[in-house]
Amino acid sequence: MPSPLRKQNDLKRKAQTRVCLLDAAAKIFARSGYHPPRIADIVAEAGVGQGTFYRHFASKRAALDALFDRFFEKLLRGFAQLSDHLPEDQAAYREASLDVVRRLTDVLQAERELVLLFLRQGPAVDAAFEEKMSAGLDRFADLARFYLDHAIAQGFARPCRSDLVAQALVGMALRMVERWLSGRLADQQIEAAITELVDFAFFGFCRQEGEKS
Amino acid sequence: MPSPLRKQNDLKRKAQTRVCLLDAAAKIFARSGYHPPRIADIVAEAGVGQGTFYRHFASKRAALDALFDRFFEKLLRGFAQLSDHLPEDQAAYREASLDVVRRLTDVLQAERELVLLFLRQGPAVDAAFEEKMSAGLDRFADLARFYLDHAIAQGFARPCRSDLVAQALVGMALRMVERWLSGRLADQQIEAAITELVDFAFFGFCRQEGEKS
Amino acid sequence: MPSPLRKQNDLKRKAQTRVCLLDAAAKIFARSGYHPPRIADIVAEAGVGQGTFYRHFASKRAALDALFDRFFEKLLRGFAQLSDHLPEDQAAYREASLDVVRRLTDVLQAERELVLLFLRQGPAVDAAFEEKMSAGLDRFADLARFYLDHAIAQGFARPCRSDLVAQALVGMALRMVERWLSGRLADQQIEAAITELVDFAFFGFCRQEGEKS
Amino acid sequence: MPSPLRKQNDLKRKAQTRVCLLDAAAKIFARSGYHPPRIADIVAEAGVGQGTFYRHFASKRAALDALFDRFFEKLLRGFAQLSDHLPEDQAAYREASLDVVRRLTDVLQAERELVLLFLRQGPAVDAAFEEKMSAGLDRFADLARFYLDHAIAQGFARPCRSDLVAQALVGMALRMVERWLSGRLADQQIEAAITELVDFAFFGFCRQEGEKS
DNA sequence: TATGAATGAGTCTTCATTCAT
DNA sequence: TATGAATGAAGACTCATTCAT
């Protein structure tokens, strides 16, 4: 009969090892992609034995799942209180949009390597993982659509197929993020890019009637 | 010594086998992704022997390259004469844009499985392949930017960071195509979606001054 | 320094754990054979930790040995006083034989699973264990031979190679026991089968001169 | 399109390799039992590569199955024409029995190592293999029972539970064979042992009325 | 003494690649 | 040129055993 103290310590140690392995996996996957690395690479990076990996994850695939869950939970946490109060005119809407995007970029930048990992490797892992990621992205699309519908209802956005537009916004975002985080943005002025693209989303690229040149 | 006729027949047969293998690879990759399938799966699908594969391609990776090249060449062929005459007002610009997109969708639909393959698996194959695909997409972004700059110069598009907007357009397109071809578009009315999204690109989602409700 | 009472309690607890592990091993081996189960299966069944197993047995093999010893000792205890007085005519000899077999079946039925385990798995464990089992069976063969020689000396058994006949009797018994305990006896009337087979051993299957039809 | 000749040669070569592997497996299993050897041991003995084993057998278990099938088929072939004419008196019955047993011993001696392998390891492999062996032995028991029933019907065997007696005979045979082939028969005079045991089966060990001492 | 997390040697199995025909 | 049997290096995974607590 083990003492409760002993049991707690064991659990804590085990949890530490798990974190250690996840961090190592993230590093390795970020460096070489998901498929190429061997379990041996991950445990070497983590500094534990081969068998230890299998005490914590059934397979490389399971570790990736755990990694994604940890990441996505963190990502969502930043948007929990978002829908508390909705903007009531176009200017406020634009401010709120800029605010959301900025907050998003902060998280993404903090997890740069993981983001790139999932963006590139995610859809190629297997059908189940693609589905999981797809569901995650759809949650963001739904959020965008919800906001868009609000704006339409308020009258400061024009009626449109908000489902399509929301997905288009997600598409824009994904590509810009991927280019930004992989260092392919023309200049790395992310702030300027954000403004530019929010304006593009709000007003399109056409010169409007009465717009000053 | 083989007769010239014999030689020619041999060559023709060889080319046929190559096409056969490429088609088989496309089918298999489309079904299971790039990494999981074994050479054995491809040759089984093609109905040839194991060794035959290696007479035509150095590796699975090389076959993928060949597949991409064949596809991309076909894709570009549709846009060769695009820049022959540029639209001179906003309405013509919109018509031309719709036209381009429609033509694109025709090719994409014809090669549905390959498109999905490259969209999903491409970035995960390896750095070189990602670079190759990236270059391909950048050619489309460059094209879009060229048109946008023309419109700005003509005065019917507002001045903007055309490089960013062009990439944003590519991002929009990629996501919509991926959803469309994988059957996740809300309704499968691609024509309506095209109009909707071109309008979004042209005018944004905001109601403009003087726009009728 | 531990009190003598404490010491005694520790010893008692240790013995209990040992019994617990042996019982668990018996159950597991009976279910899945000797080779397939892992130590982890045994300790899970016993409800103790992995390490505990090694405090009691050096290896799975050693636990099997202990299991066999415990079983065989119990088996022999039923035959200790057997040779106290020998039968003096054929009828008494037959009665004594039936009596021995019945007593044997009682023990075997009580340890059904272990018996089947050793019958099936024993010879396949390793050379040493086979030797050990073989020696055990030879003790029964020797006993049978001793009785047979007595009967021959008394004149109510015919002279024969008693060593061979004794081993044949053991063979008969092993197969019948295996079939009985695994539920493959035509009807489960073990008592009738005993009589039948003792008669077969005594008289063979041939009709004798003067036997009534 | 491969030439038929080529195909036939390939097939022949493949069959040779298979035989090679089966022989190697038999040798290895006979030496060390079924469970301990690794695939590496078998392929080393056969002088082929690791992968070659898996081209021919899905697993070690499948190889054992193939080995047993090959052996059992050979064993049965010797008894195909056995029931052509049945003995009509006790003396002929005894001659026929001796004849069968002698023929059996010839085959068994020729396959000494395999016989010992199956006798010892067979029941311990897994439930399916045990069932397979059991079915094989039951075929011999059925044969014995058929003969016994014939003798009873003819009146030169006494009425008895022929099913039980047949199984008892199988049990006797198994133990004697195992002792004989493993060199534990007191003297190696197998011919004398056969006579002795057939007599035991025919007449039991009791002295009969009117038998001369 | 009991525990169970950690270990890493050992093994199975796969599969890209070769090569004799 | 096409074939497919053979190959063996590579990698996933297992599990008996250790040892710090």
pLDDT digits (tens, 9 = 90+) for D12-36: 889 999 999 999 999 999 999 999 9
D78 has pLDDT over 80: no
Domain end marker among C22, C40, C57: C57
Hey, is the C-beta of D38 within 8 angstroms of any chain C C-beta?
no
Query: D189 or A137, which is more confident?
Result: A137
State whether D44 and D95 are in the same domain: no
Does the CA dihedral C183-C184-C188-C189 come out positive or negative? negative
pLDDT score of D209: 54
pLDDT for D76 equals 86
Whether residue A16 is contained in a domain is answered as: yes
3-state secondary structure (DSSP) of residue B208: coil
Asked if residue C105 and residue C74 are part of one domain, the reply reads yes
- Closest nucleotide to the alpha carbon of A6, via C1': F21
Residue A189 contacts strand F, CB under 7 A: no
More reliable by pLDDT, A173 or D89? A173
Neighbours of D12 (CB within 10 A): 10
Running DSSP on this structure, what letter comes out for residue D205? S
Q: Is the pLDDT of residue A28 over 60?
A: yes
- Residue A32 CB lies within 7 Å of the nucleic strand F: no
User: D87 and D8, same structural domain?
Assistant: no
Which residues from chain C sit within 8 angstroms of residue D38, using beta carbons? none
What local confidence, expressed as pLDDT, does residue C1 receive?
47
What are the helix (H) ranges across chain C?
4-32, 39-46, 50-56, 60-77, 90-110, 112-125, 127-154, 162-181, 190-203
Query: Would you say residue C164 has pLDDT above 90?
Result: yes
Give the range with max mean pLDDT: A89-93, B131-135, C72-76, D3-7: B131-135
Closest residue to E6 (CA, C1′): A52
Residue appearing with tokens 């990694």: A67
Distance from the A209 Cα atom to the nearest Cα atom in chain B, whole angstroms:
8
Q: Which two structure tokens, joined as six digits, stand for A127?
A: 């059908």
Report which of C66, C50, C64 is spatially closest to residue C15, judged by C-alpha positions: C66
- D213 in a structural domain: no
Q: What is the distance in angstroms measured between the alpha-carbon CA of B54 and the sugar C1' of F2?
A: 11
Give B33's contacts in chain A (Cβ within 8 Å). Answer: 124, 126
Which pLDDT band holds residue C84 (cuts at 50, 70, 90)? low
Among residues of chain C, what percentage have pLDDT more than 90? 64
Q: Does residue A91 sit in the same domain as residue A164? A: yes
Tokens of D81: 């024409």
**Considering the domain boundaries, does residue B151 fall inside one?**
yes
Structural domain contains residue C211: no
Contact between residue C209 and residue D209 where contact means Cβ atoms under 8 Å apart: yes
Sorting pLDDT into bands at 50, 70 and 90, what band is D81?
A: low
> For the segment A57-78, what is each residue's pLDDT rounded down to a tens digit?
999 999 999 999 999 998 888 7
Find the CATH number of the domain harbouring B150: 1.10.357.10
Nucleotides of strand E under 7 angstroms from a protein beta carbon: 1-21
Inspect the interface and report whether the beta carbons of A207 and B155 lie closer than 8 Å: yes
The C 172-201 residues near strand F by Cβ under 7 Å are: none
Would you say residue D204 has pLDDT above 90? no
- Residues of the domain holding B72: 64-203
- Distance, in Å, from the CA atom of B172 to the CA atom of A173, rounded to the nearest integer, reads 8
**Mean pLDDT, rounded, for A137-146:** 93
Calculate how close chain A gets to B4, using CA atoms only, in Å.
46
C-alpha radius of gyration, chain C, whole number: 21
Task: Please tell me whether residues B45 and B99 are part of one structural domain.
Answer: no
| CA distance readout (Å), D26 to A88, D46, D113, D118, D213 | 84, 11, 8, 10, 48
Claim to verify: residue D25 and residue D130 sit in the same structural domain: no
Q: Please give residues of chain B from 51 to 90 whose alpha-adjacent beta carbon (CB) lies under 7 Å from any atom of strand E.
A: 51, 53-54, 58-60
Residue of A nearest to B34 (CA): A124
Mean pLDDT computed over C18-47: 95
Name the nucleotide nearest D6; use CA and C1'.
Answer: E21
* Domain assignment present for D211: no
Instruction: Name which of B90, B156, B172, B187 to mutate to probe chain A: the one with the most chain A Cβ atoms within 10 A of its Cβ.
Output: B172
Q: Of C57, C77, C98, which residue sits at a domain end? A: C57
Instruction: Name the residue among C155, C163, C205 with its Cβ closest to that of D157.
Output: C205
Note whether A44 and A92 are same-domain residues: no
Which pLDDT score is estimated for C11?
Answer: 76
D196 in C contact zone (CB under 8 Å): yes
- Whether B50 and B118 map to the same domain: the answer is no
How many beta carbons lie within 10 A of that of residue A46, not counting itself?
22
Give the nucleotide nearest to B61 (CA→C1').
E16
What pLDDT does residue C155 have? 87
User: In angstroms, how far is E11 C1' from D49 CA?
Assistant: 15
What CA–CA distances, in Å, run from D99 to C38, C116, D93? 48, 34, 10
Contacts of D27 (CB under 8 A, 6+ apart): D45, D113
DSSP, collapsed to helix, strand or coil, labels residue D17 as helix
- Is A205 close to B130, i.e. CB distance below 8 A? no
What radius of gyration, in Å, describes the C-alpha atoms of chain A? 21
Residues D35 and D87 in one domain: no
Residue C168 domain flag: yes
Considering only A113-127, B76-90, D46-60, which range has the smallest mean pLDDT? B76-90
**Nearest 5°: phi and psi at A186?**
-50, -60
Residue A18 domain-assigned (yes or no) = yes
Those chains having 3 or more beta-carbon pairs within 8 angstroms of chain A are B
Which residue is the nearest neighbor of F14, CA to C1'? Answer: A51
Q: State the pLDDT confidence band at C77, using cuts at 50, 70 and 90.
A: confident
As to burial, measured by CB atoms within 10 angstroms (0-12 exposed, 13-18 middle, 19+ buried), residue B150 is: middle
Is residue A148 less than 8 Å (CB to CB) from chain B? Answer: yes
Q: At CA B210, angle to CA B206 and CA B212, rounded to 5?
A: 80
D131 CB within 8 Å of a chain C CB? no
Task: Pick from C158, C182, C195, C196 the residue to mutate for testing the D interface (most D CBs within 10 Å).
Answer: C158
Closest nucleotide to A16, Cα to C1': E5
Q: Please identify which residue in the block is written with the tokens 């005993």.
A: C194
Residues D48, D69: one domain?
no
Q: Computed over its alpha carbons, how large is the radius of gyration of chain B?
A: 21
Q: Over 90: is that where the pLDDT of C24 sits? A: yes
| Separation of CA D62 from chain center | 19
Indicate if D29 and D129 belong to the same structural domain. Answer: no
Element (H, E) at B10: helix B4-32
pLDDT of A32-60, one tens digit each? 999 999 999 999 999 999 999 999 999 99
Residue nearest to nucleotide F7 (CA to C1'): D49
> Is residue C213 very low, low, confident or very high in pLDDT (cuts 50, 70, 90)?
very low
Do the chains A and D touch each other, judged by at least 3 C-beta pairs below 8 angstroms?
no
CB–CB of C207 and D156 under 8 A? yes
DSSP state of C82: G
Average pLDDT over residues D189-209: 84
Q: Using alpha carbons only, how large is chain D's radius of gyration in Å? A: 21
Torsion (CA) D59, D60, D63, D68 in degrees, nearest 10: -130
| Interchain pair A165, B200: CB under 8 A | yes
Show residues of chain D in contact with C186, CB under 8 Å.
163-164
Whole-angstrom distance, CA of residue A175 vs CA of residue B137: 11
User: What one-character-per-residue DSSP string does D110-179 give?
Assistant: HTHHHHHHHHHHHHHH-HHHHHHHHHHHHHHHHHHHHHHHHHHHHTSB----HHHHHHHHHHHHHHHHHH
φ/ψ (deg, to 5) at D3: -70, 150
Question: Which residues have CB under 8 Å from B52's CB, separation 6+?
Answer: B17, B21, B43, B46
D143-155 mean pLDDT: 90
Residue B1, pLDDT score: 47
pLDDT tens over chain B, length 213 residues: 455 666 677 677 788 899 999 999 999 999 999 999 999 999 999 999 999 999 999 999 999 999 999 999 988 887 766 666 788 888 898 999 999 899 899 999 999 999 999 999 999 999 999 999 999 999 999 999 999 999 899 888 889 999 999 999 999 999 999 999 999 997 778 999 999 999 999 988 766 655 444
Residue C65 dihedral angles phi and psi, to the nearest 5°:
-55, -50
Domain count, chain C: 2
Residues C43 and C69 occupy one common structural domain? no
In chain B, positions 27-56 with C-beta closer than 7 Å to nucleic chain E are 38-40, 50-51, 53-54
Whether chains C and D touch (3+ CB pairs under 8 A) is answered by yes
Contact residues for D192 (Cβ-Cβ < 8 A; gap 6+): C161
Helix (H) or strand (E) holding B24, with range, is helix B4-32
Q: D17 touching C, CB under 8 A? A: no
Q: Percent of chain A scored above 90 by pLDDT?
A: 67
Tokens representing A168 are 């288009």
Which of D158, D170, D182, D198 best tests the C interface by mutation, with the highest count of C CBs <10 A? Answer: D158
For residue C192, the chain D residues in CB contact (below 8 A) are 161
CATH of the domain at B40: 1.10.10.60
Instruction: Confirm whether B149 is domain-assigned.
Output: yes
